[in-house]
Amino acid sequence: MGSTFDMVDLIRAKRDGRRLTNAEIDWLIPAYTAGDVGDEQMAALAMAIVFRGLDPVELTTWTEAMIATGERMQFTGLTRPVVDKHSTGGVGDMITLPLAPIVAACGAAVPQLSGRGLGHTGGTLDKLEAIPGWRAELAPADLFRLLDQVGAVICSPGPGLAPADRKLYALRDVTGTVESIPLIASSIMSKKIAEGTPALVLDVKTGSGAFMRERERAVELARTMVGLGRAAGVDTVAYVTSMSSPLGRAAGNAVEVDQAVEVLNGCGPQDIRELTLTLAREMLALAGIDDDPAQALSSGRALDVWRAMIRGQGGDPDAPLPRARHQRVIEAPRGGVLTRLDALAVGVAAWRLGAGRARKEDPVQSAAGVLWHAGIGEPVEPGQPLFTLLTDTPERFERAEQALSAGWEIGEGPVDVEPLVLERVAG
């Protein structure tokens, strides 16, 4: 049996700037997970970490201890090389939906264990649950079978992966201790390392609609996660990408599935295609596969994998998606060029229409969301539809419009459009 420590001593130590020892962390994390350390004490320590941080040794030990509270998945029996992707979340960020089948169509196995949305950022599982019959929960045997036969699975992680993170994440969410790079990095990477993938590509968003609004902090988070991955033997590369404006032309659940299918049919918004193919090329390089993801898209191979993936999880890829019972169109008051479209404003509007949730247990409306009909730098005519708001509950329109009202501007062109990919971090 390991040493037992006084939790108050650990809180004081971190409050005063002392690093926690490996033995202290290795006691703390399982003790908290088991309920031997109270939420109020862990909340105090988390707040001390917000202000004092964790150094690289502390952070590696903290992450390993979180992993050790649960099981570790193994993909050694698969005939395909395994590679995964994780996004820190944004508005219109449905990249996983076309990306997983594209990479699988090139010969990789993509075990995409995804989450649900909270606040203005959408959740991949919420989007896919708009497809009739599709289910997020898979038994391990079904997950491995689909990975081997189809190549791609998008599902919810089982409760056995890093249970310490599930408990600590819920605590941080209600104690104002979310905004800590070490705590964010250990939360994401404990689950990804426990997932057992040997290669991982991270998409770290920055801008108004992202969790990390400042680019410098996004780069720091990317470097921290890459360091954790590589220390654990996971070949990890991160991209820092712009989320000042929303991706694509839709924010919601069914509307983003619609857009993913457009991309898989060789169409869809240019920014979605660009980012999807950039991440796909990196994933394939890490997996050691020499194939062109653009060709997998244009040939229809990726669409075939998508259909097989949806069917494999109980869904009907041919079934009509839910459509909102009510819609409201916002028209351009004047002509010119769309000079600004704020990702946060669009995300909050979609959330207020019912596409997102304020608490984890809240339901979402599959059909709710926002469509925008012009991108930054594009010309608009007076009276042209700028946005379409979608919901099943029309009393939501007013507050959604309020959220959107200050989120866009029409001016004179031209506009300097920020690059989508800002930085690649590989070590």
- Catalytic positions are 86, 165, 172, 187, 191
Q: Who contacts 84 (Cβ-Cβ below 8 Å, separation ≥6)?
A: 110, 111, 112, 113, 192, 195, 197, 199, 200, 201
Nearest Cα to 393, choosing from 306, 315, 325?
A: 325
Q: Who contacts 162 (Cβ-Cβ below 8 Å, separation ≥6)?
A: 66, 67, 69, 70, 190, 191, 194
- Strand, helix or coil for residue 95: coil
Beta pairing class for 152-155 and 110-113: parallel
Report the phi/psi class of residue 45: left, alpha or beta, with left for phi > 0 and alpha for psi in -120 to 50: alpha
Taken in order 284, 289, 290, 296, the sign of the CA dihedral is: negative
Residue the block writes with tokens 């033997």: 233
Q: Who contacts 50 (Cβ-Cβ below 8 Å, separation ≥6)?
A: 177, 179, 180, 183
Cα torsion 252, 169, 39, 10 to 10°: value is: -150
Beta strands in 217-322 (DSSP E): 235-242, 250-252
3-state secondary structure 141-200: HHHHHHHHHCCEEEECCCCCCCHHHHHHHHHHHHCCCCCCHHHHHHHHHHHHHHCCCCEE
Q: Who contacts 215 (Cβ-Cβ below 8 Å, separation ≥6)?
A: 206, 240, 422
User: What are the CA-CA distances from residue 134 to residues 52, 88, 312 (Å)?
Assistant: 44, 24, 9
Provide the angle, in degrees to the nearest 10, between the axes of the packed helices 56-68 and 181-194.
40
